[in-house]
Structures are given as C-alpha cells and as structure tokens.
Amino acid sequence: MMKKIIVLILPLSLLIVACGSNFNQANTQSPVTSEVETREEKTPKAVLVNPQGEIPMGEVELILEVQDSTSGKVIPVENLDVNSTMPMPGGDDMISKIEIEPAANPGQFKVKTNFSMAGTWHLDTKIQDANYQGESRITLEVK
C-alpha cells in the first residue's frame, strides 16, 4: 500500500515542480517583450536637411539630421556612419569617399563627398548610439 502511494505522489510532485518553474519563466519574459516594443517606437532615421532642391555634380557638403521616425523630433546622437554609392547597371556600384563630422546643432552632421556623375545616388546611414540604433537610405538625384 505504501509503495502505491509513493508511486502516485512522486509523479504528482514532479508535475507540480515542472508547472511551477514554467510559471516563473513566463513572468520573467514579459518585461523583456515590452522593452523591445519601447525600443522599436524610438527608431531613428537620418534625413537630408541641406541643401534643399537641386544637388550639383562634384564636391558637395550636405547636412544630415537624425530624427525620430514617428515624431520627427531631432535625436542628439553622437555617431553616424554614411556610405555613398551610385548603382551602375550591369556592374558594381560606384562608391564615393565620405568625410563626416558633427555639425553645430546636436543630431546634425556635415557630410562632404564628391558626386562624380549625374544620376541617382544613395546615402546609406547607420546610427549606432548608446540609446538609439537604426539604418536608413537617402536617395538623391544629382544634376
């Protein structure tokens, strides 16, 4: 009789322990999910603020600004990486050298480059800051 009780109690206690540990794991995972959702709401993007209008072929200085993608407010990040490429049909993209430095206003950057040909150019930006990360592409028509 005692063996039958042990045989019944042992699996039942294992089941209780197993269910109890899953309950604790579910509670610890919930805050992580909300933190990820909050971070997604603050996705930054880089936008061209100067020059507005036509961009000439040759040496140019552009001003890029990092903004919150939902509110449009300026985000004062400290680091911005920029690559400049021109798609070439049937070949590798043309690459233009970039010099970048912070501008006078927080969240803005001076970008110096040479658009050696007229046509469509892409500025691929990567924001890597302690609080914000994001990538965006700015497409320019150079005349």
Does domain 44-142 fall under CATH 2.60.210.10? My reply is no
Contacting residues for 71 by C-beta, under 8 A, at least 6 apart: none
- Cα 127 from Cα 133, distance rounded (Å): 5
pLDDT at 135: 95
What is the mean pLDDT for each group of 10 consecutive residues in the chain (143 residues)? 58 59 47 38 87 92 96 94 96 96 96 97 94 94 96
Q: What angle do CA 99, 105, 111 make, to 5 degrees?
A: 15
- Six-digit token string for 143: 């005349």
Spans of all domains in the chain: 1-41, 44-142
pLDDT at 36: 35
pLDDT at 29: 47
pLDDT at 128: 86
- Cα 141 from Cα 118, distance rounded (Å): 7
